[in-house]
Amino acid sequence: MYTISSKLKVFSFVLIIVGLLGIGYSFISAPKTTADVEKILEAEAHGHHGAHDAHAHDAHGHDVHSAEAHAEHEEHLLHVLHQLQNKPWAALYVAAIFFMLISLGALAFYAIQNVAQAGWSPVLFRVMQGITAYLPWGSAIFFILLVLSALHFNHLFVWMDPELVNPESPKFDKLLNGKIGYLNEWFWLIRAAVFIIGWNLYRYFSRKNCLAQDEASDNAFYKKNFNISAGFLVFFIVTESIMSWDWIMSVDPHWFSTLFGWYVFASFFVSGITVIAMVTLYLKSRGYLEHVNTSHIHDLAKFMFGISVFWTYLWFSQFMLIWYSNIPEEVTYFVTRIEQYNLPFFGMVAMNFIFPFLILINTDFKRITWVLVMAGVVILLGHYVDFFNMIMPATVGDRWFIGIGEIGSLLFFLGLFILIVFTALTKAPLLPKRNPFIEESKHFHY
């Protein structure tokens, strides 16, 4: 049995507290009114050459243009206010969805291993189950965030603004009005609830059956797990696709892409596998995984390598198709990202593709702990940036910054993740007893 070390516990509590302080600070320091924004913009302008413009603006006080200019300025202030008010919310949202999807990715990997009757992985099943233990908590927190969005606590989802679908309003948006049958708060929340409940049910029962199989005298529970895993994978791939439209693509409700679901899937799937590898390495280094050898690690590293390349393939396919045809209504998605998010947008390609590709292509490296940990950290950070790039441009625009709010949210969820995962690992023996493939898995050698 694994026992969580007190150091790890303290570490995760520190992360949670520091993260909460960061989140709290970012909410408190967000501007409340356009007057605050005016001050921020002025402070920024003084730093730049733009200071001149501000003064010129005041000097021409009373001519006809000024009323128009004033209204425009007010509109700009309101726009920036919304972006800045979104910032702490978006930071929280990105970190929440990132960690929830990591455990979902690990769950999908676990289901695939069950269905594929993989002979190498059963010794890692309890590690995977430990990681997916975050899912109920993470998805509950995430659902609360969705409900808060639907209750207009924030402006993350622009289509939730009732003015936009009101034909009488000057803000009326015909395109959004056309999508109202799909993009409306109630239907959106019900879908989210169905998906989250479905995933959690699979997680709950597969864990239960796996533990029951330990004590059983036949393979009935194993077969049951096989069947529900197959069912889950069908459910998963449908809900995953819809989930990516609902929770990620709909922050840009004027834009759509057909391979988006796969792209999001590849991103969190590789993150989930990376986390499995890193937790395995940690437990192994503490002497808890007797039967895990370098061949198991090697296999996980191959998955990290392969799915990283798969992610890149989808990233590039999505980017290149839109870049090539350059149709204005869809290319704006990448124009804003390249212009305003240049470093994160292209930096994540280096982190998610070039670095792991060059490091993990070597067979010997795939068995060296520190190489894998280094590659894993870069992959995880890279995929955080990936989610950052998907959410931020539509919610905070050019006001993005990886500051206290973003890092605080990341640390909070990281601490929560570590605490829940490693607590869950103490709940059951780390080696399944009666899995039909466990003997093969113990002696797995590549």
Partner 1 sequence: MSTKVIQALYNDDDILMDAVKETRKAHHHIEEVYTPFPVHGLDKAMGLAPTRLAIASFMYGCVGLSFATWMMNYIMIQDWPQDIGGKPSFSYIENMPAFVPIMFELTVFFAAHLMVITFYMRSKLWPFKEAENPDVRTTDDHFLMEVAVHNNEQELSDFLKKTGAVEIKVVEKH
Based on the shown chain and the rule CB under 8 A, indicate whether residue 33 belongs to the binding site for partner 1. no
Nearer to partner 1, 136 or 347 (CB): 347
Q: Among residues 137 and 446, whose Cβ is nearest to partner 1?
A: 446
Q: What is the distance between the alpha carbons of residues 278 and 283, in angstroms, rounded to a whole number? A: 9
Query: Which part of the chain contacts partner 1 (CB under 8 A), choosing from 108-116, 243-251, 312-320, 405-413?
Result: 312-320
> Is residue 354 close enough to count as binding partner 1 by CB under 8 A?
no
- Give the nearest distance from C-beta 320 to partner 1 in angstroms: 4
Report the residue number, 112 or 368, with the smaller CB distance to partner 1.
368
Least CB distance to partner 1 at residue 323 (A): 5
Tokens 């330990």 correspond to 214
A 10 A CB-CB count for 33 gives: 11
Q: Which stretch binds partner 1 (CB under 8 A): 39-47, 314-322, 378-386, 405-413?
A: 314-322
Cβ 47 to partner 1, closest distance in Å? 31
Stretch binding partner 1 (CB under 8 A), from 94-102, 284-292, 316-324, 401-409: 316-324
Among 263, 319, 353, 384, which residue interacts with partner 1 (rule: CB under 8 A)? 319
Q: What's the full length of the chain, in residues?
A: 446
Contact letters (x/-) for partner 1, 323-342, by CB under 8 A? xx-x----------------
Residue 30 CA to residue 32 CA, distance in Å, equals: 6
Closest to partner 1 by CB, 362 vs 426, is 362
Give the single-character DSSP code of 158: G
Q: Which is nearer to partner 1, 172 or 316 (CB)?
A: 316
| 363 binding partner 1? (CB under 8 A) | yes
Q: Indicate left, alpha or beta for 225 from its phi (over 0: left) and psi (-120 to 50: alpha).
A: alpha
Distance of CA 156 to the CA centre of its chain: 15
CB of 446 to partner 1, least distance (A): 11
Give whichever of 303 and 319 is closer to partner 1, judged by the CB atom: 319
Integer-rounded Cα Rg, in Å, for the chain is 24
Cα torsion 148, 153, 155, 156: sign: negative
Q: Which residue has the tokens 């009732």?
A: 162
What is the closest distance, in whole angstroms, from the C-beta atom of residue 346 to partner 1 in the complex? 11
Q: Distances in Å between the alpha carbon of 341 and those of 113, 314, 402?
A: 37, 19, 12
Q: Which among 355, 287, 419, 392 is positioned nearest to 11, based on CA atoms?
A: 419
Task: Tell me what percent of the chain is helix, strand and coil, each rounded to the nearest 5.
Answer: 80, 0, 20
Q: Does 17 interact with partner 1 (rule: CB under 8 A)?
A: no
Which of residues 361, 401, 426, 429 is near partner 1 by CB under 8 A? 361
HSE toward the beta carbon, residue 140, CA cutoff 13 A: 6
The tokens describing 419, both together, are 């605490």
Nearer to partner 1, 324 or 370 (CB): 324
CB of 423 to partner 1, least distance (A): 42
d(CA 421, CA 428): 12
Strands (E), 197-351: none
Q: How many residues touch partner 1 (CB under 8 A)? A: 8
Using the structure block, give the residue that is written with the tokens 């803000």. 171
Rank residues 71 and 361 by Cβ distance to partner 1 and give the closer one: 361
In 116-219, alpha helices (H)? 125-132, 134-150, 174-178, 185-215
Cα–Cα distance, 209 to 205 (Å, whole number)? 6
Q: Which is nearer to partner 1, 207 or 366 (CB)?
A: 366
* 320 scored as a contact of partner 1 (CB under 8 A): yes
Smaller CB distance to partner 1: residue 349 or 430?
349
Which of 232, 283, 231, 240 is closest to 261 using CA atoms?
Answer: 240
Is 316 among the residues that bind partner 1 (CB under 8 A)? Answer: yes
Site string for partner 1, 266-305 (x = CB under 8 A): ----------------------------------------
Q: Minimum distance between the CB of residue 338 and partner 1, rounded to whole angstroms? A: 12
Nearer to partner 1 by Cβ, of 363 and 426: the residue is 363
The whole-angstrom separation of Cα 30 and Cα 51 is 23
Q: Which residues bind partner 1 (CB under 8 A)?
A: 316, 319-320, 323-324, 326, 361, 363
